[in-house]
Each structure stands twice: as structure tokens, then as C-alpha cells.
Amino acid sequence: MAAMLTAILLSCDTDINVAPVYETYFTKYYGEDGNQSGVDLAVGDDGTMVMVGTSQSQTNPITRTFIVKVDPHGTVLWERQMAGDNEVPVDVELDSRNDILVVSNVSATGSGSIPRASIRLTRISQSGTGIDSLIITDDVTKAELFGTAVTEITDGSLIVTGYAGPGLVEDQNLLRTDAQDLMIIKVDPNFALAPELEAGQGGEHIGNIVKLFESQGSVPQRFYTLGDSDRPFRGEGFKQAFEVLQWNEFFVSAPTGVAPSGDAQSSSEAVVMPIGLQRGYVLVGSTGQDVFKQIFMTQYIDGQSDLSIRFSKVIPTPRSAEGVSVAYSDEGSMFVLADELQDNNNHDIYLVKLGSDGAKEGEMRFGSIEGDDQAAAVRVLPDHRVAVFGTIELETQKKMMLTLVSPTGTFSE
């Protein structure tokens, strides 16, 4: 009898024998009044995460930047609005000081006397207090500037990349109106000096640099920009495709770049990743027609003097899907996050795990079945958990969604 009682009591689930897996693997929603949309996620060495997105109250439609820092369990450490009205964040990074850098695009109708679309670069401490902020605007050519990312280089300078509206470069021989030029802007490490326009690459109707990388150990300095354009150096005329350009220390580009063949491609995000003992990069985006797109990715190897394509790959999905973000793990896997179109014309967030050769190893979907959900970023945490960040459309509102899953895509070990 005593043994039976003991067995029954021992079978009782308590906080001693029920593992707190919810602390490690979870889905949590973040936000404030109204609708919040996730844009980007940065992960610190300590596993803390900084999320940026936009926020719109249902009673006041002004778009504000919303930033949240959470601990590795998803608990909010601080959260607040930042910057001015009608500013849309596009990138969050941690610099070598462990400060938080946020790139936002500032609408011309936004705060202050900003006559045209500009970029705001903001530096925030890990405690959430603002350190400095800088508006980058083009008063010379009067081009509209749109940032996509910021990169800190060896000398501490910050390189903001993206694209500029018409007028940045006097393009010749274009078939139609020049819509975009690639853009590289250098910002003083202390925001002390005025930002300098380092490059405005012409020759394309449309184009965008999603990320600039500094080739490690290269003397003199060498940079690569990954993105897309319709530059006709592929011999296929003006066709939008992935593009890697090599730049010298003066941000002058080589006459030709590296681009994969295939259907039209548009890029979303690039990250650096090791390939064996070499340094490599992976660029993700989408390919195909408007009605049916598929995830497209290219992996590059940083050679002694140039960059070469290791492989390009279309990741087949049953529905139209556009790659949004990519991350890699120390174990050699890659994770690609995409927006997947559903039968009801809404999107779900689609996570696919790939081997080092790009072969699909697993997949998982997130979102509400009736809502239009959006992927924002995928990151691998120091403890190998995979963070999926995006926007979920709940029944009454949109919220930023952070999901932590195991490397196999499950909510447990």
C-alpha cells in the first residue's frame, strides 16, 4: 500500500519533474497599442535578442519604430518606441562596442524638415538608452536614399548600403528611366563627421545592395557587396539577378561582378558563413515570375583575390515562396526563412533547414491560418536554438512574433 502511494505521488507532475521547455522553445508575441510588424533581429553573444519593427496605433496611424530587447527566454528586458514619426526600420546590428545600430528609412513627409527620403542611423546602448542618431540625406544630387543594412568595418566606420532614387548617377545607355542606383555611404565611427557618399553604382535600372562585407585580412582592404540589379554584364541584357560586386578600399567597383544564371532573381539578405576553412557568404532571395516565386540562394567562396560561386539553388516549395532571411549554424546547416503564399492569398512564415550543400533537411511553418503573416529574420543563437522572427496577424491585431525552435525545427529537444 505504501509503495503504491509512493508510486502515485511520484507520478505527480511538478516543477521538479516537468522540464521548463517553454523557456527554451516557445512562441511569444510582442507589441503595444495597435499593430506591430517585425523587421529585423540581432542576437548578442549572451543570447539576448534585439528586435526592431514598426508600430501603428489603431487610433493613430503614424508609423513609429518599435524596439524590444529580450533575454534568451524571450522575457522583455526593455521595449520602447524610437526615432520620429513615419520612420521604417530596416536593419538592426550589434557593433564592436556591443552597441545597437538601427537603420531606418525616413519618409519625406516624416518628422523635421526632411525634404526627401533619407536614412536615419541610430546608436543605442544595450540598456536601451539612445547614444547618437544621424540623418543621412543627399543634398547634392537630391536623390532619395533607402538603406537596407549597415556594416562596421575594420577602422570602426559604419557602411550604410542600399539604393538611391533617380539622379544619383548619370546613367547612359539605359533602355528606360533609371529608377535605382546602388548606394554605399560611409559614416564616421562616432557620428562626428558628415556621412560621405562613397559609391553610387550606375548602369542598372533597378538594383539594391542588401549587405556589404569586408574581406578578412585583405591588404589593401577589399569589400564585397551582395544584392541584385539588372546590370547587363551577364550577356543576357537587362535582367534582374543576384549580383556580387567587388570594391577596393576607395569603394571603386571592379568593372564586372559575379552573378548566377537562371530566371530573374531578387535578393533579400546576405550573411557571412564559413565554408570549410574558407570564408564564404550566402545570399537569399527569390526567383521566378510574379505569380509563382521560389526561394533562391547562392553561396559564394571568398578566394584570395575574388569571390566565386560555390552553388546556386532553387529551393522547391509547393506554393509560391520568397526567401527573406538566412542564417547558418556552426554545425554547417543553413536556415532560410521565407514568406509562403497560401491558398487564401495570405502568407505563412516558412522555415527550411538546408545542409551545407543546400539540400533540404527539414521544414516548418508558422503563423495564423487565416492571417497574413510575414517573415522577417532567422538567426541561430549561441546555444544553437533557431530564432524565427516575423509578424503574426492575430484575430484583432498584428504583433511581432518570436519563435525559438530546436535545430530540427521542433519545440523540444
Q: What's the longest Cα–Cα distance across the chain?
A: 93
At closest approach, how far in Å is the CB of 162 from another protein?
Answer: 29
At closest approach, how far in Å is the CB of 86 from another protein?
Answer: 12
At closest approach, how far in Å is the CB of 393 from another protein?
Answer: 7
Q: What is the DSSP string of 29-94?
A: EE--SSEEEEEEEEE-TTS-EEEEEEEE-SS----EEEEEEE-TTS-EEEEEEES-TTEEEEEEEE
At closest approach, how far in Å is the CB of 88 from another protein?
Answer: 18
Distance CA 179, CA 177 (A): 6
Distance CA 194, CA 55 (A): 30
At closest approach, how far in Å is the CB of 5 from another protein?
Answer: 9
- Residue (7 or 194) nearer to another protein, CB: 7
Backbone angles phi, psi at 399, to 5 degrees: -135, 155
Burial level of 128, CB count in 10 A (0-12/13-18/19+)? middle
CA atoms within 13 A on the CB side of 150: 32
At closest approach, how far in Å is the CB of 369 from another protein?
Answer: 5
Question: Cis (ω within 30 of 0) for the bond into 189?
Answer: no
Number of residues assigned to the chain: 413
- Residue (82 or 259) nearer to another protein, CB: 82
- Residue (59 or 129) nearer to another protein, CB: 59
At closest approach, how far in Å is the CB of 74 from another protein?
Answer: 5
- Residue (1 or 291) nearer to another protein, CB: 1
Radius of gyration of the chain (CA): 22
String of b and e for 253-266 (b: at least 16 CB within 10 Å)?
beeebbbbebebbb
Containing 9, the helix (H) or strand (E) segment is helix 2-10
- Residue (185 or 351) nearer to another protein, CB: 351
At closest approach, how far in Å is the CB of 384 from another protein?
Answer: 18
- Residue (84 or 288) nearer to another protein, CB: 84
- Residue (29 or 238) nearer to another protein, CB: 29
Q: Which residues bind another protein (CB under 8 A)?
A: 8, 11-15, 18-22, 25-34, 57-60, 62, 68, 70, 74-76, 79, 348, 365-371, 392-397, 399, 402-403, 410-412
- Residue (164 or 378) nearer to another protein, CB: 378
Identity (one letter) of the amino acid at 246? Q
Residue (of 201, 233, 202, 209) closest to 285 by Cα position: 209
